[in-house]
Structure 1
Amino acid sequence: MDDDSMEYPRKYCPGPDWCEDNELYDIGGLHPVVIGDSFRDGQYSVVHKLGYGGFSTVWLARDHRAERYVALKILSAAGSRCVNEIAIQRYIRALGMSFDDLSITKIIDRFSFRGPNGRHTCLVLEVAGPSLNFLDKHSLKLRPDSVRDLAAQVAGVVRKLHTNDIAIGDLSTDNILLKVKNLSSWSEEEIYQRFGEPEASEACPTREGESLSSHAPRYQYDHIHFGWCDLDVLEPNVTVADMNEAVYTGSNPALHSQAESSAANRVYAAPEWWFGVNQKHTKASDIFALACIFFELRTASPLLPAYAMTDGAEVIQLLLGEAPQEWKDLQNDRDEDQQVELLSHEECGSESLDIKLAAVGKWEPWHYMTPEQRKQHFFDTYDEEERNDPDKDINIERDSSTRPPPARLSDEEHHDLKDLLSRMLTYLPEERITIEEVLQHPWLNKRYDDLDDQTAPWICRYDRGFRYYNATEWYRAYVLNVDPDSGDKAENGGIWRLDEENPKFENGTFNWDVFYDSAEDIWYDAVESQEFESDAPEPEEADEEEEDPQESEEVMTDSDEEEFSVTKLLGLPVDSDDE
């Protein structure tokens, strides 16, 4: 047993990967919820789970008074002591801004109650769908013009907040949610038919024979996986969620927070945060994060890789080049453990924006393989010791599910997107363009006719595996062994079949060199012949029916309206108690 486990012994056996850490259920922690629980004198009853975070769980609930579905965000007892999101929304309302024109998840109601782990604040929010990061998790793709439409919507929200001196702070694809069509007419049975019934896992203590404490949940639930459901429940419209990191940036000193901001999601943190120049949320830091979101939506990959969570300064130097000299000089004045590692002149800029954009839509032999074939390749390539080596970061399930690349960038779109992102991704915050300039940029206002097929659905699933890539008749016949007359695929497929009857096996071993050469030949043959079929490997193609956007609206209500004041803005509101 290692030192950490001796110092912090687990009270509960670890739950499934799809639920929050059950160690968070303790005094000051999360509130244990059971499907069917009701709150606020029975007004809200829990129907399903929407998600969770380190400081809250979010539940789909029925509001029996208003006859609608709402999202209950139940904060941890410790996190309930300072809810900045309430103060920010109160400030927005005090300014006279219309929530009908501001796409943020609005607080419809709020209350507090006491549970076994303390007093919890519960925010009643409009129901929204999955965050934009679910696209990658569920192998979903967006039509290129839909990407730009959604990007413009997010930028529109940022503009309205920036105009009123509010910086969002925690701007990421995690906190941008697709809207769902109005669910209020659905019964609970229909909810379960569409989304499936909540999968429950019983919690159990680590010590055998010991009973669960009152602090622990009886069950933990899997949340709704929108990517596994019918996509017609989603709208091509977004709302920005979780304004708890938002800050006032105007000239009124009474409204300024004295606390130093943290990078809630470091993958989207601006250079000045990483270099220790300015660690407060600003409008300029929002612009940098917004550029990361634009890149991620269009390319289906993050601008700054996951290891930016710990080595962000290094990643930013690889992307943007050498840091300003004054930033370099600043490192000499910092404590050794706070100094940023400065890369060599040759390393800086080696993974530039231009290089990243040039790779968008590039097809590799790996993309032609089904997940099963990729898994087989892993087992053939790496022995058990290599597969279990944490330094190699080999995850067969994750890597074998790599989806095809997004739609290629035309020369025109490449030029426009590079120009926009270059203006947003700068070292010096004062050199970044404003949100007004972002919204006026051609990339958000053009239609690229060579890419924007209006007949394709705005969102659809990748059809994983070889069925998706049937570029030419020769390809279909040779690789997939599809009968050109009937269109049926024979049971004994072409080079993709991984069994010893496959002619690509030599002495009982599959010849991967031949496989890769064949895949390359297939691709180049398809490109040269230009005989793409309508459902062939153009990633901008789609398979689902088009949506009819229908916006659902909720009315912002508050049982205890009161006059706006600076004191109330900065403090926790006085809420009602449901004991």
Structure 2
Amino acid sequence: MANNTKRRPEKVYFPNIDVENLEEYRIGGYHPTVIGDAFHEGRYKVAHKLGFGGSSTIWLARDRHLQRYVSLKILMARQATESNEAKILRLLSGCSSESTHSGQGFIPRLLDDFTIDGPNGRHLCLVQEFAACSITVAKEWSSNNMFPVETARSIAAQLILGLSYLHSRGVSHGDLHMQNFIYGLNIDHLSPDELYSRYHFDTAPVRRVNGAAPEPHAPPYAVWSMPIKTPADKLVDPIIKISDYGTSFVTADNPSPQLCTPTLYRPPEALFDDRIIPFAADIWTFGVNLYEVLGERPLFETFTWDRDDILADIISTLGLPPQRWWDAWANRGEFFERDGEWRKGGIISRIYDPVWRPLSQRMWDMGRGEKPEGCEWDVEGGEMRALEDLFRGVLAWEPNERWTAEDLVGSEYMVRWALPAWERQRRRQGEEASPA
């Protein structure tokens, strides 16, 4: 009898933690980049590493023409002809000055793009404004996993305006999550020595399992990402950018896409393999992440990222789904009785007491205070209520019932709390930029 078991490919490199997958240094994969490499006729010189993803490495580079630091994203060779990222960024950068949307400033500008040839193929390179620290990292390094209230409100306004701009241009982001909400620092004045003194430069050797030299397909060493660690609780007046358009698309070209969003942030229609409405999917994912941006913890919390566990927690938050999805959920009996009550002795109850924790309760569980008198939100003025209204609007079960980005811009929370915080930030930064 034939053995149809697929053999795993043999490892070529010894792995290293906290760096890109070294096995992708092969034909069609990453470009072997090292500190000091210069690209595009020597204009962009690599100074440090900003990060990596499943399809690219991102580097801090010095633009020798303009004497400033930029972000240099080098896509895998097999992505060079498949990626629409440059097209999307050009579209988003192409709004005329007469009709500039107030959210355009929260999208990284595409400054340059070009291709390079290397031992693994031809790679597309995208040059953008420098921004390196994600909201995720900032929260992880804070003492309370939260931004100051004024900062959180301003971040919410910036993200809402940025999302509104994307949708106004017909673009669905497709992967809105906190790692793609980033902010930068002004480091243009730093010399290379000053840069490395402030942001330590660490490497690890790249070694082949067979003992051969890693070159030409891999670099001689891997670089750990630039350690920008601004704690969220100390962050004041950040300018946020919505980044990473590798999975974005123009909705007119792709009206019912396949989502690449992590399961925890996917809208319910994707969990039930129902039709995807791009903007409505963005809105759901944005809402799930906005809750975590504003507070201490995730909105939906499970011990695994299993689809059924996530659905059970969504139902605990929002109530029962539409009947067609309830009937189609094959494993619902592991969590619920037919009438929607928690199943006694079911999977959920083996982990924690089977109780509902609806959205109204989760608003108090954000970490801003569990009682009105101690809450950091303006409870007396109605901020908590307006914020809950916002989440109910963006987390409607039915895609066509969810708020639009323009609904978010016009919402009570945006108008009375988020936008004023952003406008106060703008005034402060304008005063700081003014001559004495």
TM range (shorter): 0.7 to 0.9
Distance 2:366 2:257 in 1: 37
Q: 1:35 to 1:303 in 2, by over 3 A?
A: same
Q: 1:305 to 1:32 in 2, by over 3 A?
A: farther
Distance 1:322 1:138 in 2: 37
Distance 2:429 2:94 in 1: 34
Partner residue in 2 for 1:319: 317
Letter in 2 for 1:29: G
Distance 2:234 2:63 in 1: 24
Partner residue in 2 for 1:346: 341
Q: Match of 1:57, SS?
A: strand
Partner residue in 1 for 2:184: 179
Distance 1:194 1:4 in 2: 51
Distance 1:325 1:101 in 2: 38
Q: Deviations over 1:430-465 (max 9, x none)?
A: 1112222222223233359xxx9xxxxx9xxxxxxx
> Which of the numbers 301, 304, 307 marks the counterpart of 2:300?
304
Asked if 1:125 corresponds to 2:128, the answer is yes
User: TM-score scaled to structure 1, two decimals?
Assistant: 0.62
Partner residue in 2 for 1:506: none
Q: 1:86 to 1:63 in 2, by over 3 A?
A: same
Letter in 2 for 1:90: R
**Where do 5+ consecutive residues of structure 1 fail to align?**
250-254, 332-338, 365-405, 453-457, 459-546, 553-579
Distance 1:12 1:550 in 2: 53
Q: 1:352 to 1:232 in 2, by over 3 A?
A: closer
Letter in 1 for 2:414: L
Partner residue in 2 for 1:493: none
Q: Please report how far the alpha carbon of residue 81 of structure 1 lies from its aligned counterpart in structure 2 after TM superposition.
A: 1.9
Letter in 2 for 1:179: G
Partner residue in 2 for 1:415: 385
Q: Deviations over 1:302-353 (max 9, x none)?
A: 212365643233332232222101223456xxxxxxx664642113982322
Q: Please report how far the alpha carbon of residue 95 of structure 1 lies from its aligned counterpart in structure 2 after TM superposition.
A: 5.4
Partner residue in 1 for 2:414: 444
Q: Match of 1:62, SS?
A: strand
**Where do 5+ consecutive residues of structure 2 fail to align?**
343-353
Q: 1:229 to 1:283 in 2, by over 3 A?
A: closer
Q: 1:226 to 1:306 in 2, by over 3 A?
A: farther
Q: Deviations over 1:468-492 (max 9, x none)?
A: xxxxxxxxxxxxxxxxxxxxxxxxx
Letter in 2 for 1:159: S
Distance 2:117 2:190 in 1: 31
Q: Deviations over 1:550-569 (max 9, x none)?
A: 999xxxxxxxxxxxxxxxxx
Q: 1:186 to 1:362 in 2, by over 3 A?
A: closer
Q: Match of 1:415, SS?
A: helix
Distance 1:551 1:68 in 2: 21
Q: 1:442 to 1:99 in 2, by over 3 A?
A: closer
Partner residue in 2 for 1:91: 91
Partner residue in 2 for 1:33: 33
Q: Match of 1:32, SS?
A: coil
Count residues in correspondence. Answer: 397
Asked if 1:284 corresponds to 2:280, the answer is yes
Distance 2:302 2:138 in 1: 17
Spell out the pairing of 1:44-193 with structure 2 (5 A cutoff): 44-93=44-93, 96=96, 98=100, 102=104, 103-139=106-142, 141-181=146-186, 183-193=187-197
Q: Please report how far the alpha carbon of residue 90 of structure 1 lies from its aligned counterpart in structure 2 after TM superposition.
A: 3.0
Letter in 2 for 1:164: R
Q: 1:167 to 1:59 in 2, by over 3 A?
A: same
Distance 1:187 1:550 in 2: 27
RMSD: 3.4
Q: Deviations over 1:489-528 (max 9, x none)?
A: xxxxxxxxxxxxxxxxxxxxxxxxxxxxxxxxxxxxxxxx
User: TM-score scaled to structure 2, two decimals?
Assistant: 0.81
Distance 1:289 1:227 in 2: 26
Letter in 1 for 2:177: S
Distance 1:414 1:273 in 2: 29
Distance 1:120 1:147 in 2: 38
Q: Deviations over 1:70-121 (max 9, x none)?
A: 1110001112222212122333455536489612111111111111111111
Partner residue in 2 for 1:10: 11
Q: Match of 1:186, SS?
A: coil
Q: 1:172 to 1:430 in 2, by over 3 A?
A: same
Distance 2:151 2:40 in 1: 40
Distance 2:192 2:408 in 1: 43
Letter in 2 for 1:318: S
Distance 1:445 1:53 in 2: 36
Rg comparison, structure with higher value: 1
Spell out the pairing of 1:321-470 with structure 2 (5 A cutoff): 321-330=319-328, 341=332, 343-344=335-336, 345-347=340-342, 350-361=356-367, 408-409=376-377, 411=379, 412-447=382-417
- Compare relative contact order (CA 8 Å, sep 6+) and give the higher one, 1 or 2: 1
Q: Deviations over 1:232-287 (max 9, x none)?
A: 998521011112222223xxxxx41378322333322111111111245x111121
